[in-house]
Amino acid sequence: MSLHDRRKNATLTSPGRGGAAVTIDGVTMRFGDRVAASDIRVDVAPGEIVSVVGPSGCGKTTLLRAVAGLLTPSEGSVKVDGEAVDGTPDGVGMVFQHFGLFPWKTVEANVAYPLRLRGLPKEEIAARTRELIGMVGLSGFEKSYPHQLSGGMQQRTGLARALAVRPRVLLMDEPFGALDAQTAEVLRFELLRMWEERPITMLFVTHSIDEAVLFGDRVVVLKGRPGRVHEVIDVALPHPRDRAVARSEAFAALRERVWSLVMSPDAGQAG
Amino acid sequence: MTALASRRNSREKSFAPPGDLLGKVVAVVVLLGVWQAAGSAFLPDYLPTPLGVITELIPTLTSSAFLTALGETVGAVLLGLVLGCVPGTAAGLLIGRVGWLRQLSTPYISGLYAMPMLAIVPMATIWFGYNNLTRVIVIALSAFLPCAVSTADGARSLPANLGDVARVLNVPRGRFVLDFVLPSALPFAVAGVHIAVGRALVGAAAVEFLANIDGLGTFILTNARSFAQNQAFAGVLVLALLGVLARAGTERLIRRVAPWQQTHQD
Amino acid sequence: MKHSGSDSRPRGVAVSLAGLALGLIAWQVAGQRDPVLLATPVRSFEALAGMVADGTLPAALLDTGLLFLVGLAAAIAGGVGYGLVLSRSRVLRGSTGWLVFALQSVPIVALAPLILAAFGFGFGAKTLVVFLSAVFPILINTVEGARHAPKTLLEVAKVHRSGEWPLWRDVLIPHTLPYAMSGIRQGIAMAFVGTFIAEFFLQATGIGGLLLSASARFDSATVLGLTVLVSVIAALLMGLGRRLEKAFAPWRQGSTE
């Protein structure tokens, strides 16, 4: 199937890419005297993937939590499809760095958790859970507990749980940061493949510059303490983003550019 | 009660967020108030009251009857602790390192360790009589078991990779015990003493009650029987304080001898 | 933690059993040398059998068991209940948390005469002794558990817009349960001690009462038999407690091995 067919398939129901628009409008995050992020403005179009990179402590995770409604901005606002975020909006899924699985729930129960909270009928929960588990390649492990699984399989479970809400927006909090290099690589391309089939809005926080370029339609570079938007880079790489793209010269050039932005000392001690 | 703070410092901090002084004061006032009211309204003469305890505290603690009792109990506890902890620790090291010895002793150690030491007092009084000897022996036994069990755990708990290190370096057996086993067992040994102290005090009070020999337990008992509840309660407080102080001491000792270890709890 | 070394399990059990047999033989020999102070195992067993036959031992076991169970149940209800309350209320935790630690260091044995004087020696007073003995480890462990609910899981619940009750059902209770269970394991041991405190110092009933009266008669056969019985029961209770602790956290089993 060509890229074009795939895109067409996925977009039968909605014009262009799916997902919601996310508007981060002048967000400042303060904790007591400490300012973690200052006046951040990012607009994410429906179906767009925006990567956020920056050195540790630049407030990228804090920003993600504000979009998730876990933290309230001290100034500014976050809107999802034009609605101000107050608590997590419906249709927002989140994938956590350390998976955030319930150790006392099986894979099945972990994936079904959001559906149970919504009080869906049992049969529907079972059917959708089965489908999601199949989608992330965990069929046969329904009854396993997280501790019986490898890190990669745990994060597959976390991903399935995030997808269970049929998200308009997927928030990724360094989702592959706790995995070994090989596993992370495999999961990256699998997630990209899934996204190509059903493109939704994604805000992708990561430490890895490769990952940021590989996923992002744009890459936002945060810098300084408190973190500010240092630069936004358009990533004009073709879709689908597969291994061939990752080997291309264009990719290498972009990676180099983001790397030098992240490493450049200038905007360092602004606050 | 400042000793308390030092005792379980880390855990207590996690319990009480700072700046809750007002809440604490209110809680104490409410508790003491309810106690005082209940004591004087429903059970006068049968229940010690905060005011009563405060008025009686100094005269009680300075009375010669109390001081004699205190000396008796503390003396017996110290003697019993030494007689229990020293062989207990040695036995623990042996049990921990020698497989067949551990298997041989397991039924006895775990049977006795689980058992309330109180239940051994009737047997002890038959064997040794209603006297100080029984008290010291019960205390020593109460102390022996936790020391042995804890030290044995410590002697066994040498991390596997350290054992590999010793093998790779070709460390001779004597040095292995000295440089590897003892240091890793040491904090466990002190933790054993930590538990032993609490059990020893309880054991002492129990024997004194049952065998009616002079000591803090008997002091509490006689006063409680003669409607001097406040004096009796002062005795209880002192007993509690002794336990707290002793445990604060052993905890400090653990930190001293094994700064790399987290504090043990009983 | 367990460094299993070279001791193979069946051999270990065999050596343990041999140790027990050796002890029994030594006891029998010693008992035959000094039959007054030390009854032989055979005579002790006969004494126990006699008490079973005339019904005193079963009745005493029932008495002791009832006191133990009621006191323990009260301690579990109180300890877990207040523990959960404390875990959700900063105010109560700040104001009464430290009191829990202060009260915990009061030896319950020493309180027995005061409880006897104030509340008498009825079942209620005895239950109070058992309750006080067992409640603190349960309470403290429960609070520890509930206070350290993993932050990520709380976030997961929040992201999925969990209500308060589902939050308890999915996160707080399952997370706290193993902590509460290890508190209950300690509580079981303490309740057993408390049962003897009550039977020795409040009212001589149950096994404790039988021990006291036999001891007063210098009936070493009965005392020895009962003491061994108590130690067996205590070991069984400890085993039961450990079982319980494991059974309530199946998701942990893999990680503890």
Please identify, in words, the CATH class of the domain defined by A1-91+171-271. alpha beta
- Contact: B118, C224; criterion CB under 8 Å: no
What's the domain count of chain C?
2
CB A173 within 8 A of CB A203: no
Instruction: Please identify every stretch of chain B with a pLDDT value under 50, giving residue numbers as ranges.
Output: 1-16, 263-266
User: 3-class SS at A51?
Assistant: strand
Same domain, C62 and C21: no
Q: Which residues in B lie closer than 8 A to residue C231 (C-beta atoms)?
A: 111-112, 114-115, 119
Q: Does C248 touch chain A (CB under 8 A)?
A: no
CA dihedral B104, B141, B114, B15 (to 10 degrees): -130
- H/E run at residue B122: helix B121-128
Same domain, C189 and C161: yes
* Selected residues 191-250 of chain B with any CB under 8 Å from a CB in chain C: 198, 201-202, 205-206, 209-210, 216-217, 220-221, 224-225, 227, 229, 232-233, 235-237, 239-240, 243-244
Chain A: residue nearest C161 by CA? A88
In a domain, B159, yes or no: yes
In a domain, B22, yes or no: no
Q: How many CA atoms lie within 13 A of C242 on its CB side?
A: 6
- Residue B139: what pLDDT? 95
Angle between the N-to-C axes of helices C90-104 and C56-88, in degrees from 0 to 180, rounded to the nearest 10: 140
Closest of A214, A102, A192 to residue A154, by C-alpha: A102
- Residue C1: what pLDDT? 37
Q: Closest partner residue to B243 among C107, C189, C197, by Cβ?
A: C107
In a domain, C144, yes or no: yes
Q: Closest partner residue to A100 among C155, C249, C254, by Cβ?
A: C155
Same domain, C13 and C139: no
Chain C: residue nearest B97 by CA? C5
- Which one of C152, C154, C160, C170 would you mutate to disrupt binding with A, by most A Cβ within 10 Å of its Cβ? C160
Q: What is the ipTM of this complex?
A: 0.83
Q: Which residues in C lie closer than 8 A to residue A110 (C-beta atoms)?
A: none
Categorize the per-residue pLDDT at C57 as very low, low, confident or very high, splitting at 50, 70 and 90.
very high
Closest of A144, A157, A145, A155 to residue A114, by C-alpha: A157
Task: Give the Å distances, CA to CA, from A19 to A15, A64, A88, A214.
Answer: 11, 17, 16, 20
Domain locations in chain A as residue ranges: 1-91+171-271, 95-166
For chains A and C, CB pairs below 8 A equal 61
CATH number at residue B209: 1.10.3720.10
In a domain, B172, yes or no: yes
pLDDT in tens, B34-44: 888 887 877 77
Note down the domain range covering C119.
43-249
In a domain, C119, yes or no: yes
- Residue B15: what pLDDT? 47
Same domain, C129 and C29: no
Same domain, C83 and C62: yes
Residue C139: both structure tokens together: 């309470």
Q: Which chains contact C through at least 3 pairs of Cβ atoms less than 8 Å apart?
A: A, B
Instruction: Write out chain A's pLDDT in tens, 271 residues.
Output: 444 444 433 333 334 467 899 999 999 999 888 888 889 999 999 999 999 998 888 889 999 999 999 999 999 999 999 888 888 888 899 999 999 999 999 999 999 999 999 889 999 999 999 999 999 999 999 999 999 999 999 999 999 999 998 899 999 999 999 899 999 999 999 999 999 988 999 999 999 999 999 999 999 999 888 889 999 999 999 888 989 999 999 999 999 999 999 888 754 444 3
Q: Does B12 touch chain C (CB under 8 A)?
A: yes
CA dihedral B191, B197, B198, B201 (to 10 degrees): 170
Same domain, C105 and C24: no
pLDDT in tens, C211-235: 999 999 989 899 999 999 999 999 9
Closest of A238, A224, A230, A239 to residue A270, by C-alpha: A224
Closest of A134, A108, A133 to residue A122, by C-alpha: A108
Q: Facing residues of A204 across strands?
A: A51, A172
Same domain, C110 and C49: yes
Backbone angles phi, psi at A56, to 5 degrees: -55, 140
Q: Which residues in C lie closer than 8 A to residue B28 (C-beta atoms)?
A: 99
Q: What is the pTM of this model?
A: 0.79
Note down the domain range covering B108.
53-257
In a domain, B100, yes or no: yes
Same domain, C28 and C107: no
CATH number at residue C55: 1.10.3720.10
What's the domain count of chain B?
1
Same domain, C30 and C55: no
